[in-house]
Structure 1
Amino acid sequence: MNHLKSLDAYFTAKRDEHLNELKDFLRIPSISALSEHKGDMQKAAEWLKDSFQKAGLENLSIDETEGHPVVYGDWLHAEGKPTILFYGHYDVQPVDPLNLWETGPFDPEVRDNKLYARGASDDKGQVFMHIKAVEALMNENGSLPVNVKFIIEGEEEIGSPNLEKYIEEKKEKLAADIIVISDTGMYGPGKPAICYGLRGLAGVQIDVKGAKGDLHSGIYGGGVQNPIHAISEILASFHDQEGTISVEGFYNDVRPLADEEREAYRALDFNEEALKDEIGVNELFGEKGFSYLEQTWTRPTLEVNGVFGGFSGEGIKTVLPSEAGSKITCRLVPDQDPEDIVKKLRAHIEKHKPAGVTVTVTEFDKGKPFITPFDHPAIQAAGKSYEKVYEVPTAFTRMGGSIPIVAAFDEILNLPVVLMGFGLSSENFHAPNEHFHLENFDKGLRVIGDYYYELAEFTKDELRK
């Protein structure tokens, strides 16, 4: 425990300095989805490279891809000790709607011991913590107890379209014994959790085209198909009234939930009433026969993310629009394949396409689901480090979100993946007023530093079993 005391003293002394550095990182509007921010993406990559150098990492590089670059650094002088490959991302989500932010999304501000900014929790804050943990150990000891490799990408928020190719090409460079990712969350305030399963992703856009141009609704209404009516009919066909997905064969490959997992989730004693208060709804809604945790962690979804078409300005415009559309995403669970799900979506849309319009389906993000045994020694070691700092038992959970590249890491590098996150589900990532609880920033730095010591107790063979 002496190293924990040393880490605590170091991070206490450096807290203000570290927060100011993180704020500099958060000021960079590294929005990967918007082409006008390409220069900001490069700026964020260069910021990371400089931060790697300050921490004591070596062999630094900004590796170009067909999209945004990957930043690499390593330290490989712990002879005979395991090698950790840490993955994170420096890109962030768009900030719309801007008017709902209390302070600017790229003007970091601390309020009530929470750091507000886009990327504070997802994922710049958590990436920053791992860099600073390395820096602390290097400053205190001049070395690390294990070997480390860092790859931080700039395209996670758009589905990591170029990272899988990068991993394939750099397999030798990325060789390691385990992969550690901090892009997940805790179970709740003061309740650390290790995530051992992620849902996958399949996203499409549906475009409905009617007449060659907008029409006067008085002259043509009632005699020509309205694309908004048509897209509404398609969207309504995706679910029954109880929330079950109606796409033929959608559930065919869903892996049944084990009784042991159901019992473990019940033991978490999740408070659905508190959730309703937190998110401001009077009733939860989802697939029948499953608890909220089961619905959001272990069951697939089909969600409408946006609908567009027609006139939405002030007042009324008596127009029959020529076009309408929608964006949808499906969260997938173990054994479901995103390519197969997209095929089933296409077949369903074609079957339910109303007369008088043409429908185009465009594929977007895809990612396979992921699950790993939670009794793996690297996962159990992470749980032990959490418990030392938070002084409560660690929960082992799945996560409803997706990190599409995790399955690729598993398949290409064939390494155990440890998902140890420090965010909270209430922190508005992907939404206005994203923030990071600084209690978890402070404790997380100590957890990560301790985890490197815990991993040093294992042989490479023990970690790669």
Structure 2
Amino acid sequence: MTDTPETDAPLDPVLSQVLDRLDSDLDAALERLMALLRIPSISTDPAYRAECDAAADWMVADLASIGFDASKRRTPGHPMVVAHGGEGGPHLLFYGHYDVQPVDPLDLWDRPPFEPEVQDGPRGRVIRGRGAADDKGQLMTFVEAMRAWVAVHGQLPCRITILLEGEEESGSPSLVPFLKANAEELGADLAMICDTTMFSGGVPAITTQLRGMLREELVLTAATKDLHSGMFGGLARNPIHVLARILADLHDDAGRVTLAGFYDGVPELPDEIRAQWQNLAFDHTAFLGDVGLSVPAGEMDRTPLEQLWSRPTAEVNGITGGYGGAGFKTVLPAKASAKVSFRLVGTQDPEAIHHAFVDHVNARLPRDVTAEFPMGDGAPASHMPTDAPAFEAARQALGAEWGKPAAFIGSGGSIPIAGHFQDVLGMDSMLIGFGRDDDQIHSPNEKYDLQSFHKGMRSWARVLAALT
């Protein structure tokens, strides 16, 4: 495997014409994106149901204009858009979402969020508006690549199915039932997802490791009611003390999680991936410094990128108990609770870790304290086969476009759709996105670099050429 992008290699004439078309049609592509961005398709707010419907209609019409057989599919929530086109070669499924986050707080926007505009930014021009990066600008990079291919060659490069969702920003309640009901129609050789970012410094990336998630809630109860600490303190059991000890015991002094069997199924990084990550020269001091921190707090024998992308975690997300209002109240509480999340990697089993957590708590409960676990839901991690030829071909194609070797990276967060494609449709996903860390997705003044939009279109054209 080479780490040098083949930027000097002669372009295939078929691909070269598509890239030229994308360059010459950039202004028209930008105006199409602006039209889509003007539709306030906020999926979480019922007041915008008609606008979500309008965004789906817009996508159906646009895909049909390219030659796709496109249709709007009803669900109990917002509609799906499904489109089919092309023939021969591999069958690829492209996924994106046309819904966006709410815009609050509106007073922090520099301009109306659904009146998009191209502005000057510190790295060049940016597209400013809600949905510019998440995910309308991203999904349109793929659509525009297909448009150029058809305009130049009269047909798509291979068989392509497009699935666009309208509820991603509201938890995707209709997605899995829709996938199951339409599994035969949507099944493909490989899924393509454009809802991720590049690495810092404009390094193109394919996300191949996604951590899973287990969410737990723990409620400890001691006395039958809150007690006066002057009358009962020192004699009665305080559930906050018990909770603090239980939570502190989740990690040892080296930062490792102490649950029995927690590391079962946690793989070591392949040497090739470790080398790629080392070449990224991740500056953890700057990364932590941006939020007022300085020292990595995870497993001491792991690099910062490993801690973020390929190692499991146990984090306390919230603690309640006693009196937290203004002033002081000398209460000895009857209850104390905590919310704990576990990020999972490899083949870690959420159910097994749930039971290990319950055992961990019960083993530390003194008399007079009981434990309840109101929540215990999770999903396993997803990992993609980086040794598959398609992944290396796509990596080389991205490097050729951006002039920097592309990397197979991990994600500290969870992207459930990749796991759903594996579990329901039985196929792996290639997660290629062109967002930047400063795109302010979900926040006021969201933006998408014009370079990301332009080179994103060209990147997809190169990737499709490499896979077909």
TM-score, structure 2 as length reference: 0.81
- 1:346 equivalent to 2:358? Answer yes
1:386 corresponds to which of 379, 398, 401: 398
Kept after mapping to 2: 8 A contact 1:105/1:116:
no
Residue 172 of structure 1 deviates from its aligned partner by 1.0
Give runs of aligned pairs for residues 66-465 of structure 1, distance below 5 A. 68-69=77-78, 71-76=80-85, 78-90=86-98, 112=121, 113-114=125-126, 120-138=132-150, 143-154=155-166, 156=168, 160=172, 163-211=175-223, 214-363=226-375, 365-427=377-439, 429=441, 435-455=447-467, 458=468
3-state SS in 2 of match to 1:293: helix
1:47, 1:399 → 2: CA distance?
A: 29
Alpha-carbon shift at residue 105 of structure 1 (Å): 10
The verdict on how the C-alpha distance between 1:315 and 1:430 changes in structure 2, with shifts beyond 3 A counting, is farther
- Report the count of equivalent residues: 445
Moved more, 207-216 or 147-156: 207-216
Q: Quote the Cα distance in structure 1 between the aligned partners of 2:128 and 2:240.
A: 38
Is the CA contact 1:22–1:128 (under 8 Å) kept in the aligned structure 2?
Answer: no
Aligned to 2:37: 23
Change (3 A) 1:301 1:159: farther
Cα 1:260–1:59 shift into 2, 3 Å: closer
Q: Which residue of 2 aligns with 1:10?
A: 25
Q: Are the counterparts in 2 of residues 297 and 400 from structure 1 also a CA contact under 8 Å?
A: yes
In 2, are the aligned partners of 1:254 and 1:333 still within 8 Å (CA)?
A: yes
Aligned-pair CA distance for 1:272: 2.5
Counterpart secondary structure, 1:327: strand
Q: Secondary structure of 2:316's match? A: strand
Conserved in 2, the CA contact under 8 Å of 1:378 and 1:418? no
Q: Give the CA deviation at 1:191.
A: 0.7
The one-letter amino acid of 1:82's match is: P
Q: CA deviation at 1:4?
A: 0.5
The letter for the 2-side match of 1:83 is H
- Does 2:75 correspond to 1:64? yes
Stretch deviating more after TM superposition (403-412 or 176-185): 403-412
Say whether the 8 Å CA contact 2:43–2:167 is kept in structure 1: no
- What's the CA shift for 1:245? 0.6
Match of 1:463 in 2: none
SS at 2:95 equivalent: strand
CA contact (8 A) 1:159 1:367 kept: no
Q: Counterparts of 1:328 and 1:340 in 2: how far apart (Å)?
A: 16
- Does structure 1 retain, via aligned residues, the 8 Å contact 2:354–2:376? no
- For residue 424 of structure 1, give the secondary structure of its aligned residue in structure 2: coil
Larger displacement relative to structure 2 (300-309 or 227-236):
227-236
CA distance in 1, matches of 2:351, 2:141: 35
In structure 2, C-alpha distance between the alignment counterparts of 1:95 and 1:358, rounded to whole Å: 43
Greater Cα radius of gyration, structure 1 or 2: 2
Are the counterparts in 2 of residues 71 and 153 from structure 1 also a CA contact under 8 Å? Answer: yes
Instruction: Quote the Cα distance in structure 1 between the aligned partners of 2:231 and 2:111.
Output: 47
Q: Note the C-alpha offset of 1:311.
A: 4.0
Distance across 2 between alignment mates of 1:92 and 1:229: 43
Change (3 A) 1:180 1:319: same
Question: Which 10-residue stretch deviates more, 337-346 or 145-154?
Answer: 145-154
- Normalising by structure 1, what TM-score? 0.82
In structure 2, distance between residues paired with 1:271 and 1:133: 34
Instruction: Give the 3 Å change call, closer, same or farther, for CA 154–330 of structure 1 in structure 2.
Output: farther
SS in 2 for 1:202: strand
Instruction: Give SS of 2:184's match.
Output: coil
Shift of 1:111: 6.9
8 Å Cα contact 1:54/1:135 also seen in 2: no
Q: 1:42 to 1:371 in 2, by over 3 A?
A: farther
Question: Match of 2:320, as an amino acid?
Answer: F
Instruction: Give the AA of the match of 1:61.
Output: K
Equivalent AA in structure 1 for residue 453 of structure 2: F
Q: Distance in 2 between matches of 1:413 and 1:163?
A: 12
Q: State the AA in 1 paired with 2:288.
A: K
Query: AA paired with 2:95?
Result: Y
Q: Supply the AA of the counterpart residue of 2:34.
A: N
Once the two structures are TM-superposed, the CA of residue 444 in structure 1 deviates from its matched residue by: 1.2
Q: Distance in 2 between matches of 1:114 and 1:227?
A: 52
Identity of aligned residues (%): 36
The change in CA–CA distance for 1:126 and 1:41 in structure 2 (over 3 A counts) is farther
